[in-house]
Copies of this chain bind each other. A is one copy, B any other.
Amino acid sequence: MRQLVEEARRQGRLVGFVPTMGGLHAGHASLTRAAAEACDEVAVSIFVNPSQFGPGEDFDRYPRSAEADCRLLAEAEASWVFMPEVESIYPPGDATRVVVGGPAVRWEGEHRPGHFEGVATVVSRLLAMVPAQRAYFGAKDWQQTVVVRRMVRDLALPVEIVVCPTIREPDGLAMSSRNAYLSPDERRRATALSAGLATAEAAWRAGSRAAAIEAELRRRLEAADVVVDYAALVDPESLEPLAADAVRGIPAIALVAGRVGSTRLLDNCMLD
């Protein structure tokens, strides 16, 4: 994979990279198409990274669908699909981890201990194996995009991180490989995340205070039987919570995470 990318770069070609865990959906297709439009070649990796799943999480049942994934990627004009073995990413005797503090500490970092260590570790390895000029990530996992940009800046990695908009179902549900876990009833209730965020955005624009918006967002989620991990208005870069009385006029993003049945879902909405 590295040789392909290096050879393309030697020929002056711009290479984009889309790291994924497979279970591909329209969000991944959109990332890949965005990369294909901006770059000459697009590498997509499919690697269900064990180190970013905690004990008791869904590593074993995470969707694995290599054939359908490859069809989707051909359609989206990927040049190359990279499907490394676990032993390529974690060689025998592996003892190295990339640890990010700062923006990785709260939210997902708190609710999924070790998650971002797994993400930073695998992304740093994938970026070394696929030395593209650009790497594409979806805004749906906003905190991940902040953590990856932080890591790339800190480790001086020679890659530009491009963040693409969240792709949604017609009823607003953010595309996620984990949506496949939802029963029909859960699928209906899951729209509470995007609907709650839309209400939060309207309230922010109307001048409501952060604490009031958070309380209303949480109320709406709980009304749909979503077990809320967090529902917070935060600074988009530091991910520090806004002050309770913060109002429009400052950078802000609303982050939500919660469980619908046994399925954990995330969503967010930039406020302005």
Contacts and interface: CB of A to CB of B under 8 A. Distances in A.
Chain A interface extent, by class: 20 to 34
A154 B96 contact: yes
Given A124-B155, A158-B128, A95 B100 contact: yes
- Identical chains in the assembly: 2
A188 interface: no
Contact of A98 (B96, B103, B129, B153): B96
Contacts of A129: 156
A97 interface: yes
Which one of A96, A98, A99 has the highest number of Cβ atoms from chain B below 10 Å of its Cβ? A96
A151 interface: yes
Contacts of A101: 95-97
A99 B97 contact: yes
A95 B99 CA distance: 8
B96 A151 contact: yes
A99 B102 contact: no
B97 A93 contact: no
Nearest to A103: B95
A120 interface: yes
Nearest to A237: B93
Interface in A1-41: 2, 10
Given A96-B100, A99-B96, A125 B91 contact: no
A67 interface: no
Contacts of A93: 102, 150
A155 to B, nearest CB: 6
Interface of A: 2, 10, 89-91, 93-104, 120, 124-125, 128-129, 131, 150-151, 153-158
Given A97-B98, A128-B155, 10 more contacts: A10-B10, A91-B154, A94-B154, A95-B100, A96-B101, A96-B150, A96-B155, A124-B155, A125-B156, A128-B157
